[in-house]
Amino acid sequence: MRTNALLSIDVVSDTLRQGYGFAATALTRLGSDIADTFSFEAAGARYVAKFHRIDTVTTLELFDWQGGVQQLLSAAGQPVPSCITAFNGHSAFARDDDQGSVAVQVMGWHAGEPLLQVTTDPPLHRRLGVTAGRFHKALQFAPLPPSLVIHDWDVRRLEERLRDCVSRLPRSRTREICGWALDALELSRTTERLGELPAAIIHQDLNDSNILLTPQREVACILDFGDMTFGPRVAEVAVLAAYVSRRSEDPARAIDEVLGGFISEVAIEEAETEVVVPLVTGRLALNLASNALRLGAGHRAEYANERIAGSLEALERLASSALPSDA
């Protein structure tokens, strides 16, 4: 999948009509990294439509696989939005326009407060780890992807991408702290070790915008399956721990709580636990560095500014706690 130019409202409306028969009203563009995402209303209900520019038939098959997994998980009682089946019988609908091919998935709207906007505490961190563990176990009943895709946010590309982003940052505290995280990742040999660790189907993007909470602070919904793949199992808990840690005054404890909750459901190996912290600091640094580079990038700048919140502070606290006591 490739990054979208923004779709026009006319193209969005026409695609929803062709693929699903929806006469969409109240179309509202939502913040998103790569997809062009909209909320809309039709026949008295509210929905979300996620559009991607697609390059190949293989990409469309992968997109359809992701939607099919969502349908399976929703039917199994997991807190995920189920994709609406299009007229073609699939969870994704594709059409051509003057810029190429565009594919869409449509899901029911789920209410909830994003974790990004919630004041968290250790009991919530632990519950999030438990929920992620149960969700991960349910994922293992899904079929394997039709092809192996290692996307930009895949942990197997973390060191490569972080090195590139750091090299392009101007001299600043952001560059310094991201460089520290890159050094820690390299010294731990985490990238080399990932290929030796257990692999599984992973969502791989349990970030604080993709988790919605109920008023009782339970998980209401897990969103955005666009990064789902077959890869290192430890990535699931590491990504969650990274984004939870930036919601906490004590990010090291937050990481421990998330990991403890996850391990209560999924028996991971010691070798996996050893790479959690380097993956956490690396992911936070990539979030910080890549979005810092986007801050002047037109329509993505506002999204980048939102996504960067808390990452620098969490990294500084983690770097401070990693220093020797007499430093």
How many angstroms separate the CA atoms of 292 and 311, rounded? 11
Confidence of residue 166 (pLDDT cuts 50, 70, 90): very high
What per-residue confidence (pLDDT) applies to 48?
Answer: 95
What per-residue confidence (pLDDT) applies to 147?
Answer: 87
CA torsion 105-110-116-117 (nearest 10°) is 150
Confidence of residue 98 (pLDDT cuts 50, 70, 90): confident
What per-residue confidence (pLDDT) applies to 100?
Answer: 81
Q: Rounded mean pLDDT of 24-33?
A: 87
User: Residue 294 phi/psi, 5° resolution?
Assistant: -95, -10
Confidence of residue 300 (pLDDT cuts 50, 70, 90): low
Provide the mean pLDDT of the chain.
91
* More reliable by pLDDT, 100 or 18: 18
> 15-24, 50-59, 176-185, 236-245 — which is least confidently predicted?
50-59
What per-residue confidence (pLDDT) applies to 188?
Answer: 96
Q: Which candidate, 68, 76, 268, 311, places its Cα nearest to that of 178?
A: 311
Q: Rounded mean pLDDT of 154-164?
A: 97
How many angstroms separate the CA atoms of 303 and 33, rounded? 7
* More reliable by pLDDT, 258 or 148: 258
What per-residue confidence (pLDDT) applies to 6?
Answer: 78
Q: Indicate the SS3 state at residue 327.
A: coil
Q: What is the pLDDT of residues 41-65, one digit of tens each?
A: 999 999 999 998 887 766 889 889 9
Q: Which candidate, 157, 172, 169, 155, places its Cα nearest to that of 289?
A: 169
What per-residue confidence (pLDDT) applies to 275?
Answer: 98
Confidence of residue 299 (pLDDT cuts 50, 70, 90): low
Confidence of residue 327 (pLDDT cuts 50, 70, 90): very low
pTM (2 decimals)? 0.91
Q: Rounded mean pLDDT of 268-283?
A: 97
The answer, yes or no, to whether residue 325 has pLDDT greater than 60, is no
How many angstroms separate the CA atoms of 239 and 283, rounded? 7
DSSP 8-state secondary structure symbol assigned to residue 155: G
Q: Indicate the SS3 state at residue 222.
A: strand
Q: Which candidate, 243, 215, 283, 249, places its Cα nearest to that of 122?
A: 249
Percent of the chain with pLDDT over 70: 93
Write out the E strands in 135-240: 199-202, 211-213, 219-222, 229-232
Percent of the chain with pLDDT over 90: 78
Q: Rounded mean pLDDT of 173-178?
A: 97
Q: Indicate the SS3 state at residue 70.
A: helix
Q: Rounded mean pLDDT of 71-75?
A: 94
Which residues, in sequence order, are bridge partners of residue 37?
30, 50
What per-residue confidence (pLDDT) applies to 2?
Answer: 44
Q: Rounded mean pLDDT of 181-185?
A: 97
What per-residue confidence (pLDDT) applies to 237?
Answer: 98
How many angstroms separate the CA atoms of 45 and 247, rounded? 33
- Do β-strands 199-202 and 229-232 pair in parallel, antiparallel, or remain unpaired? antiparallel
Q: Rounded mean pLDDT of 282-298?
A: 88
